[in-house]
Structure 1
Amino acid sequence: MVVIGLVMAARFTGSLQRLELLALDSFLQLRPAEAKDDRIVLVSIDEADMRKTGYPIRDRDLLDLLNTLQTYKPAVIGLHILQNQIAETNKTALFAALKQPERLIVAEKILPASDQIPPPGGFSAAQVGLIDIVPDGDNHLRRLLLGVYNPIDTSKYRFSLTIRLVETYLVSQNQSFALKNGTRDPEAMRFGATELPRLLPNSGAYIGADTNGPQMLLNFRSGHRPFRVLSLSDIKTGRFNPIWLRDRIVIVGITDPKIRPIIPTAANDSTNSLDLQAHAVSQIISAVLDGRSLFNTWDDGWEYLWIMGWGLTAIVLGRSTHTPRNKLIGIGMAQVGLIGISYWLLAGGWWIPVIPASLVWLLNGIGCAAFYKYDWVLRSRLKENQRVIEERQGMIEQTFDVIHNGPLQTLASLLRQIRDGKLSQEQLLLALENLNREIRGIGEHLKQETLSQEDSLYLRDGLKVDLKLPMHELFFEVYSNTLERSDFPRFETLKIACYFEPIEQRFLSVEHKRSLCRFLEEALCNVGKHAEGSTHLNVTGTQAKDWYSLEVKDNGIGIRSSADGEGTKHARNLAARLGGRFQREPSSPKGTLCKLTFPLIKPWFR
């Protein structure tokens, strides 16, 4: 999200404008060549012609050229030559001898106000068009000025030479193509049903662009020779087909680079001003008559939503479980797809932000893939460490249970008998030898279990029980082995009732089964140690619906202390792991109840 925010902020401040404009230039240059637009003919006064006629151009030479062109009956002639580029003789009115002045549109320059060049006299406002250009910060021309108020006299609105030529030609084709205001955008221009999209300060990649007067993006006609070009010498000598000029738009201009510098454009780094005018006229006429696309842009909200969408998609890809190689392939394919979509939309007339979308896609795609890979490795290591810790903790608890329910119980019984003076020295030595043997047996069992990874339960005197046995059989083995312990003589005088129902145990793990057996063993040992005055013992395991209850109940004098020992803490932890409950409480009318109830349904197990 930080990457998305930074890229969007960079675009909002205009930091990505140059890159986006260069991407637009590249897309325009990659387009396939279009057919030549033969509705437009350029009459180029090139460097060779200028050497013959001199500069400024003599008005007599220019009049002869225009009168000659009019004999071929073009629809309109556009003179892309400013007044200061024409040398008047004898101070006569310029173009006074022009045979058909109504077919001519002349040029003027009005920007900036301090450098205005007015049009030649004798022409109406409808026959004058400005030829000012609005280059971008890198001096490339990508937009066309369609009209503007005269900065000296703001009551006078001036249309561009392009608009004047287009209007004159389209009206000659169909009267319904007269110039009008737009319907979707009242400040835009419209010919028939074709509205010219108006460039706004923040349209496309532009951020705070100067759009004084309606402007539009230039959709240059692709191809090496998009227009027919005749030289001044060709016109004078008649080396052309007269059909080429009839009912056409003829634009006359100087192409000598020493007089008319080359203008870098989005389509070509060496476009002259005459070609530029032809591209502008062709763009509008082709849109009106042929349905050729004009460039549109999305609203800012949709553009930033587009950028954010690619960034979020990259995050999703980064979080995926694909291998790094597959992720990189996916990132590369999607990047190609993004460029392809942007190019396809531009061909259809929509300029969308490809550079910001590519940045958030690549940065988030590669960055998030690397980040989440590192995160996955780190989490895997943490999980492995946690697994090792849990295994060690389980081993510690298992070892504690074996020692607690075996040697420690024996030792506690010995200490009690010593305090009561019930043991002779010989009996004590024998008991200690048995205790030593029992401890060594436990150590040997734990060593073998670690090496063999066997699933068994260690009981006294080296007895091991396979934990794969049914649960009720394991309970009975624990019960039988515990009641045979010689260190609890109280068991010999008890009347015992024992019954274990079979358990639906498919959701019980080996560790669950081991812990349940240790619980039963601990509960029975507690009876042997603490149930003074007890004469009866009930040991049962019963199942009711999806719950199983393991219960040890005696009728001794009852619980003397409310403090939880280690065995009680282990029992409570076991109940929590199983999603069940543990009870250790006085029994009515006397005695102690130790009961563990747990569910046999998978979702309860943790």
Structure 2
Amino acid sequence: MFAGAKKLFTQPVIVTSVLVTIMLAGVQRLRLFEYFELKVFDQMMQRRADLPPDPRLLIVGFTEQDIQELKHSTPTDEELDRLLDKLQSNQSRVIALDFFRDIPQEPGHAKLLNRLQTNKKIIPICSTTTSPPPGLDANNVGFADLPEDPDAVIRRALLFVNPEPKAPCQSQQSLAVAVALKYLADTAKIQPQITQTGDALQLKLGKTVFQRLPQDAGGYVEADNGGFQILLNYRSFHNVARTVSFTDVLNNKVNPDWVKDKIVLIGATAPSKQDIRNTPYATGRQDNAGKMPGIVIHAHIVSEILSGVLDQRPIFWYIPEWGEITWLWGWTLIGALIGWKIKHPLVLGLAGGGALVFLIGGSFIIFNQAGWVPLAQPVIGLIAAAGSVVVYTAYSEKLQRDKIANQIQEQEKTIDLLKSLLREGGATSNEAKSPVDSQPQSGQLLNNRYKVSQVLGSGGFGYTYLADDTKRPGSPKCVVKHLQPAQKDPRFLEVARRLFRVEAEILEILGHHKRIPQLLAYFEENQQFYLVQEYIKGHCLQDELIVGKRLEEAEVIKILRDVLKVLVFVHDHNVIHRDIKPSNLMRRETDNRIVLIDFGAVKQIQPHQEEESLTVAVGTLGYASPEQLMGQPRLNSDIHALGMIGVQALTGKNAKEIERDPQTTVLIWRDKAQVSDGLAAILERMTSFDYLRRYQTAKEILEELDKL
């Protein structure tokens, strides 16, 4: 169990995603992402569908036209009193008065003050720096302060505060809260309940609960959340409510039904009053579009409260810090997986772009459900993790290629030395045991671990066994290849041992490909060599290529593609398989894909028999290229062998029976198959006698097949 966990957590995907997550979480604590998260919040707010104007609200704006008509920049107390009288005569439900009246604006101050002191349905304002009108109950006053973020945008609403004893404004509730609570109490008999659990404050209105904004909610990092704040869930970019002008009300130009039973909010909307504030709708705009007067923002807060309580409009919610880290790690993990699994640059870009679209789209869907989750961090995390894994993979593969290149050089030198020793001592040695004499019995334990259960194959090289790995849980099946040295001479054994080790190290690297059996172990026992590989359950391609049976062209192309994709990987590592033939191509049962088995270089240590059906100088007659039979294999020698398999599949002939024209050296097979000119041309070039005229890489052939 611990070994499995260690393997899991040392994988590049896991390690990279965890490291990127930790790094970004640390950077986030420095508030380096907060700016971007807030801008993303604004963009999503702008793109969200608007709600219609709130029918419970009416805004009376003091406009530039009102200033010109009344000949002063702020209404007098007498004008305000007249306005309030008209609104109340039209049976308004609650009135919010967003004009400071700590200093009288004569004429009419005494009359206005009397109205404010005696009428509990009119809510005047104060602020942290400005007192309310004198003689008013603090419970019937609302503060007008609107908290700004560092970029001067109003995204939060301050509902309650605990004022300092000497503060000019002693009201504990905001203007919007005071108005909304009076409306709810009057129309729905709902009273507020404020509870505290630990550091968490809650405002309960009916069945709706407003949570106090956490310091690290959404994209915020240690935000100033003093008092009781919530995230401001704006209703609309355009009109939060019907709006009329100050003088229209005074001049009786407003339909009384627009006022009856409504919350009326009175305040300045003229730009010259300098109460125009930045909102999320203004972000990214060069003009003043998206900026709103303070009274309009108060209307948005009132509408948010009423809609949440009476209309069940969702209240903004957030995930806790551990949830944000999990969210971030999930997307870095996806990025790392994309970088790990996808190699083609175009496909990698498309997959990465698709993941980003899914991330952004998913975050926007969540936002439309009033959820705010970080987005800038996961976007950077996904890209960083994918890029890191791609760089790591490229570097790792380069190291592997360099390592294999060195091993191949050593392999070639060892093979040359081995051939020299064979020439000196003969192809076989009298000291060598015959394969039959040394065959392990069923149930025999090799290396005190691998229990032989079945002989899968045998030949001049030795045996292939199906065995049980008795030291792994469940004793899983594995394949053991038993390789018998051609001679027992100490010098030969030492060279053979070196070649065996190098070949095993190459197979260890190649086994990372999902369609090459993984090397599980290799060992020497009683001067015999053993390779232990992953067991591939399925059947070999030889079972499909029945003499006299022709395969359809589409089937042959599919086989070629399947094998070529593996050869691209093998040849990219400068490794020659050396023995491509149907019996070394396994059709895996689980996914019906072809797996490449039985790489041939290590067979140099084995005795060779002269029958044509067996391996000759590492390669099989009928498939091995001319240069390989001469002991000089090249990468495209494997291409020749695969081309012969293609011809065999199309003709239904044994590969050894397909002859070449003695004059042109071209294979004679076209009259024995039904094949398109395009595929025939590809196969003829693959099987060219001259390796210089043959395809040089498997990638070239795949590109040609794509054109068919």
Query: Please, what TM-score do these two structures have when normalized by structure 1?
Result: 0.68
Identify the residue that residue 590 of structure 1 maps to in structure 2.
none
SS of the equivalent of 1:158 reads: coil
- C-alpha separation between the residues in 2 aligned to 1:512 and 1:157? 95
Identify the range of structure 1 (90-99 vs 319-328) with the bigger mean alpha-carbon deviation. 90-99
Residue of structure 1 equivalent to 2:38: 21
Name the SS for the 2:393 alignment partner. Answer: helix
Indicate the residue corresponding to 2:180 in structure 1. Answer: 166
* Residue 85 of structure 1: how far off its partner (Å): 6.8
Stretches of structure 1 that go unaligned for 5 or more consecutive residues are 111-115, 407-456, 458-474, 484-496, 514-545, 554-563, 583-595
Q: Are positions 1:74 and 2:113 aligned together?
A: no
| Partner deviation per Cα, 1:438-486 (whole Å, 9 max, x = no partner) | xxxxxxxxxxxxxxxxxxx5xxxxxxxxxxxxxxxxx6xx65xx99xxx
Measured against aligned partners, the alpha-carbon deviations of 1:490-522 in whole angstroms (never above 9, x if no partner) come to xxxxxxx99966979965687779xxxxxxxxx
- Go from structure 1 to structure 2 and tell me whether the alpha carbon gap of 1:264 and 1:500 turns closer, same or farther (over 3 Å shift): closer
> RCO greater where, 1 or 2, for CA within 8 Å and sep 6 or more?
1
| Pairing 1:108–2:126 present | yes
Question: The residue matched to 1:95 in structure 2 has which SS?
Answer: helix
Distance in structure 2 (CA, Å) of the matches to 1:312 and 1:507: 43
CA distance in structure 1 between the aligned counterparts of 2:483 and 2:277, rounded to whole angstroms = 90
Matched, 1:139 2:156: no
Alignment map for 1:439-478 (pairs within 5 Å):
457=427
In the alignment, is residue 569 of structure 1 matched against residue 494 of structure 2? Answer: yes
Matches within 5 A, 1:304-343: 304-343=325-364
Larger C-alpha radius of gyration, 1 or 2?
Answer: 1
Give the Cα separation in 1 of the matches to 2:141 and 2:117. Answer: 18
Q: Aligned-pair distance for 1:5?
A: 3.0
Distance 1:565 1:502 in 2: 19
With over 3 angstroms needed to count, the CA separation of the structure-2 counterparts of 1:499 and 1:238, relative to structure 1, is closer
2: CA distance between counterparts of 1:219 and 1:194? 15
Q: Matches of residues 442-521 of structure 1 in structure 2 within 5 Å?
A: 457=427
* Alignment partner of 1:60 is 2:81: no
Q: Tell me the residue number matched to 1:205.
A: 219
Check conservation: 1:141, 1:264, Cα contact below 8 A: yes
- Report the alpha carbon displacement of residue 183 of structure 1 after superposing the two structures with TM: 7.0
Q: Report 1:584-599 matches (<5 A).
A: none
Alpha-carbon distance, 1:34 to partner: 1.4
Per the TM alignment, residue 359 of structure 1 is displaced from its structure 2 partner at its CA by 0.4
Q: After TM superposition, list the pairs within 5 Å mapping 1:245-260 onto structure 2.
A: 245-260=259-274
What does 1:312-461 correspond to in 2, within 5 Å? 312-403=333-424, 405=425, 457=427
Counterpart contact for 1:205–1:353, Cα < 8 Å:
yes
Q: CA deviation at 1:118?
A: 1.3
Contact 1:201–1:211 at 8 Å: present in 2 too? yes
Shift of 1:92: 3.1
Task: Determine the C-alpha separation between the residues in 2 that align with 1:141 and 1:323.
Answer: 46
Residues 1:397 and 1:266: Cα distance change in structure 2 (over 3 Å): same
Asked whether the 8 Å contact 1:66–1:98 carries over to 2, the reply is no
The alignment-based identity, stated in percent, is 25
2:55 equivalent to 1:41: no
1:146/1:216 contact within 8 Å kept: yes
2:310 maps to what in 1? 289
What aligned pairs does 1:527-606 form with structure 2 within 5 A after superposition? 565-567=490-492, 569-570=494-495, 579-582=523-526
Richer in helix (by share)? 1
Q: Which amino acid letter does the alignment assign opposite residue 25 of structure 1? A: D
**Offset, 1:48:** 1.4
Aligned pair count reads 461
Please tell me the residue identity of whatever aligns with 1:144: A
Question: C-alpha distance in 2, partners of 1:203/1:238?
Answer: 47
Q: Note the C-alpha offset of 1:380.
A: 3.7
After superposition, the CA RMSD in angstroms is: 3.7
Q: 1:400 to 1:224 in 2, by over 3 A?
A: same
Equivalent residue number for residue 267 of structure 1: 281
For 1:119 and 1:297, the matched residues in 2 are separated by 36
**Mean CA deviation greater in 136-145 or 388-397:** 388-397
Closer, same or farther: CA 26–85 of 1 in aligned 2, 3 Å: farther
CA distance in 2, matches of 1:580, 1:60: 107
Aligned AA for 1:209?
Answer: A
Report SS of the residue matched to 2:83.
helix
Q: Report the Cα distance in structure 2 between the residues aligned to 1:346 and 1:208, rounded to whole angstroms.
A: 21
Structure 2: give runs of 5+ residues left out of the alignment: 1-15, 283-289, 441-454, 464-480, 505-521, 536-597, 603-708
Q: Structure 1 499/18 Cα, relative in aligned 2: closer, same or farther at 3 Å?
A: closer
For 2:494, the aligned partner's letter is K
- Distance between the aligned counterparts of 1:308 and 1:210, measured in 2? 27
The answer (yes or no) to whether the contact 2:216–2:222 under 8 Å persists in 1 is yes
> Which region of structure 1 is more displaced relative to structure 2, 241-250 or 304-313?
304-313
The separation in 2 between residues aligned to 1:499 and 1:362, in whole angstroms, is: 56
For 1:551 and 1:396, the matched residues in 2 are separated by 14
Shift of the alpha carbon at 1:35? 1.5
The alpha-carbon deviation at position 203 of structure 1 amounts to: 1.9
Aligned counterparts of 2:483 and 2:239: Cα–Cα separation in 1: 91
Change (3 A) 1:510 1:248: farther
Q: 2:435 touches 2:460 (CA, 8 Å); kept in 1? A: no
The alpha carbon displacement at 1:573 in A equals: 6.2
- Matched with 1:150 is 163
Partner residue in 2 for 1:242: 256
Offset at 1:567?
Answer: 4.3
> Is the contact between residue 220 and residue 267 of structure 1 (CA under 8 Å) also seen in structure 2?
no
Give the counterpart of 2:48 among 1, 7, 31.
Answer: 31
How far 1:15 moved relative to its partner?
0.8
Encode CA deviations 1:166-221: one digit per residue, 9 max, x unaligned: 1011111211x211114767622221121112112222222222221111110101
Tell me whether 1:125 sits opposite 2:138 in the alignment. Answer: yes
Inter-CA distance 173–500: structure 2 relative to 1 (3 Å threshold): closer
Contact residue 575 and residue 597 of structure 1 kept, 8 A = no
Partner secondary structure for residue 243 of structure 2:
strand
Corresponding residue for residue 113 of structure 2: 95
Output the amino acid matched with 2:238. H
Q: Partners in 2 of 1:565 and 1:597 — Cα distance?
A: 13
Give the whole-Å Cα distance in 2 for the aligned partners of 1:506 and 1:304: 52
Asked if structure 2 preserves the Cα contact closer than 8 Å seen for 1:83 and 1:117, the reply is no
Equivalents in 2 of 1:272, 1:315: separation in Å?
Answer: 47
Name the CA shift for 1:401/1:45 in 2 (closer, same or farther; >3 Å).
Answer: same
Q: Aligned with 1:188: secondary structure?
A: strand
Q: Letter of the aligned partner of 1:126 in structure 2?
A: N
Q: 1:187 to 1:179 in 2, by over 3 A?
A: same
Look up the match of 2:25.
8
- Aligned amino acid, residue 317 of structure 1: I
